[in-house]
Amino acid sequence: MNLNDVISSAGDGLWTWGVLPILLPLGIYFTIRSGVVQFRLIPEMFRVLTNKTPRDENGKPQSVSAFQAFTISTASRVGVGNIAGVGTAIAVGGAGSIFWMWLMAFIGCASSFVESSLGQLFKIRDKDGFRGGPAYYMQHGLKARWLGIIFAIILIICFPFAVSSVQANTISATASGSFGHEIEWIPFAVGIILAVLTALVIFGGLRRIAQVSQALVPLMALIYVLVGLIIVGMNIERLPEVFTSIFTQAFGFNEVVGAALGMIIMTGVKRGMFSNEAGLGSAPNVSSTAAVTHPVKQGLVQALGVYVDTFLMCSVTAFIILISTPDLAGATKGIVLTQDAFINNFGAWSNILLVIIIFLLGFSSILGLYYYGETNIDFISPNKHLLAAYRVGVVISTFFASIVSASTVWDAADGVMGIMALVNLAAIGLLSGIAFKLLRDYTEQRKQGRDPVFTRDRLPGVTGIQCWEDEHSVVGEVATAHQKNK
């Protein structure tokens, strides 16, 4: 058994016997306990998305807005996982894996709501506004800084290195597939270009990361969705057949790729969580930076982000592939299925379009995932030398990820992500009662016709809350000074 087989086997075992038995029951519990918040409050998700940002005593926004936090987290979610990841799911588990991806996204919305609400509640102030995430609600909510440090270390390994490696590897694979696998220097050239561009941005600080990401992601995501809808429109007569295959193969009937039911389910779950990150503990690192008047608002916004990622972006990819490739026997994992679909519908020139889309989506995700790591580096230690070493490590791993095999990168990312999910799920399971109290407070205020405002005195007995001192400081009528939390 080679190294790839060992990594793959270990990752599958972790998800089968570790993550799934916790992820699914906990997501169902959150769904029931919250009164199916992910469906019941869909209109509210859109309403709070455009809420005005509370301002400080100088009239400036206290931090990023709810919408900005939504776009930043979406930038990290929407990457090659929506394209190559869905292709891998279909190649391994057939069309039925898409059903389980959809189902887990719906259930996962409740987990995303809980973790992002908790991230907002236990956030801290810094010189730029706010920051927080799982490491912070583990320290302040569970009173377990040691667990926060463990989570931070796993996240740093998982996102800026393992998951970013998937982004870089897919960009390289797409370029090689478009210009010819026989040109052996292409992966090296892609690796060098990505490493240089990554260094230029991340060494420029967080402001440059935000500027580049916000400029790249919305346009490329829109282009990809429009192209996908055009392909679906060109093959609209096959759409009923596609839906039929998704639902029938989900339960092991006529599985065209020969996958067993367990493999179909597991593939859909893993690829779905890889894409939308619901319950994984990543999105709270961004959602905690938002200035809002109630923690639940970011819980709702980030739940909406799961819908956008899976039910929009991933579904477009699934329809593109399944409409264009009726025979999945022997299908190749990764980006190849999507490439073939583009060529079959638009001709060879469309390969270049896909390369551009993948490059910009993947590169912006690398930057967003780097940001996750930097915030957790700061949680562990503010040492500047540690941050510099981390930045150099990210640049180096971006290069090497471009030249290694795709299976090694995907399997390694799956394994690390499974460990990270277990730590975060345990934490939000223990703290979920607080999240539901927040939801109850929010809905009661809405019933009174108010735009909900939270203050720490509304949760008597809950300690460790660093912000939310009083209503004036929350809504910005009399703002508190933002001092860096040391």
The domain limits of the chain are 3-54+61-453
Place of tokens 């929407």: 78
Say which residue, 58 or 215, is predicted with more confidence. Answer: 215
> Average pLDDT, stretch 298-326?
89
Name the residue with higher pLDDT: 19 or 5. Answer: 19
Q: What is the pLDDT of residue 145?
A: 96
pLDDT of residue 477: 43
pLDDT, position 97? 87
* Higher pLDDT, residue 163 or 102: 102
Quick one: pLDDT band at residue 439, thresholds 50, 70, 90?
Answer: very high
Q: CA-based Rg of the chain, rounded to a whole angstrom?
A: 22
What lies within 8 Å, CB to CB, of 76 at 6+ separation is: 277, 282, 283, 286, 365, 368, 369, 371, 372
- In the CATH hierarchy, which fold is given to the domain comprising 3-54+61-453? Amino acid/polyamine transporter I (1.20.1740)
* pTM confidence score: 0.86
Mean pLDDT of 233-247: 91
pLDDT band at residue 483 using 50, 70 and 90 as cut-offs: very low
pLDDT at 210: 66
Res. 178: pLDDT tops 80: no
State whether the Cα torsion 155-157-161-166 is positive or negative.
Answer: negative
Using CB atoms within 10 Å of the CB of residue 316, give its burial: 0 to 12 exposed, 13 to 18 middle, 19+ buried: buried
Q: What pLDDT is recorded for position 326?
A: 67
Q: How confident is the model at residue 481 (pLDDT cuts 50, 70, 90)?
A: very low
